[in-house]
Homo-oligomer: A and B are copies of this chain.
Amino acid sequence: MQHTEKHLKSSDFITDTVIGMSDGLTVPFALAAGLSGAVSSNMIVITAGIAEIVAGCIAMGLGGYLAGKTEQEHYQSEYNREVMEVETVPEREKEEIKEIFAEYGFDEEGQTLLANQLAKDKTKWVNFMMKFELGLEEPNPNRARNSALTIGLAYFVGGLLPLTAYFFTSTPREGLLVSALITTICLFIFGYFKSKLTGQSPWIGGLKVTATGLVAAAAAYFVAVSFDKIFN
């Protein structure tokens, strides 16, 4: 059990980092790229980029927090429903146990034994139904907070990297070139290690992540330039 829990926690952390870093490396970069095609001052690009990072970092962190809380409350409301069902319709719940076990090839005798033994302790019965009928694990109570911090920080770090290019260049066009170079490298490294952690081919994973970032940036650039041409 110790091993399993550890495993699941590390997977949560990786998922959160991937969520924050994917967007962090992509959105501020793509926004800056889009603006680079439409404005003439690096200062505006940087100001917009920083406003975006702050906004995205807080919004995504809080988004992760809310998602974690929702998961927790969902578990709790399902739990309460199971408690009520075990209290009010125990025979129907016993039939449910038997049906579930029948699917795994248990015979009538095994099913009945299982249902009767489980029914002896209502708390264990409910825990059993949660895990087995509904496939729900009790969420880590710190999940929401950890999720918020991990996603927010990953977004912040990922977002700042592409923006640095505009500090050291004099026009948005130059900034965009350097930024695209930095970001392409970062996206590939990120995709490479992400894929390695999740047991996929790191080279293909790196290319996929890089491509998605560049697609988002190209789309933002195209839309911003078109918009600027139409209205100016």
Contacts and interface: CB of A to CB of B under 8 A. Distances in A.
Interface of A: 4, 8, 11, 14-15, 18-19, 22-23, 26-27, 29-31, 33-35, 38-39, 43-44, 46-48, 50-52, 54-56, 58-60, 62-63, 66-67, 70-71, 73-74, 77, 103-107, 110, 113-114, 117-118, 120-121, 124-125, 127-128, 131-137, 198-200, 208-209, 212-213, 215-217, 219-221, 223-224, 227-228, 231-232
Contacts of A77: 199
Nearest to A62: B212
A110 B117 CA distance: 8
A188 B63 CA distance: 15
Contacts of A60: 23, 27
Contacts of A22: 59, 62-63, 66
Contact of A47 (B70, B114, B199, B224): B224
A199 B137 CA distance: 19
Contacts of A58: 26, 30, 212, 215-216, 219-220
B124 A135 contact: no
B19 A54 contact: no
B73 A55 contact: no
A121 to B, nearest CB: 5
How many chain copies does the complex carry? 2
Contacts of A132: 131-132
A35 B48 contact: yes
Given A15-B67, A23-B63, A73-B200, A51 B220 contact: yes
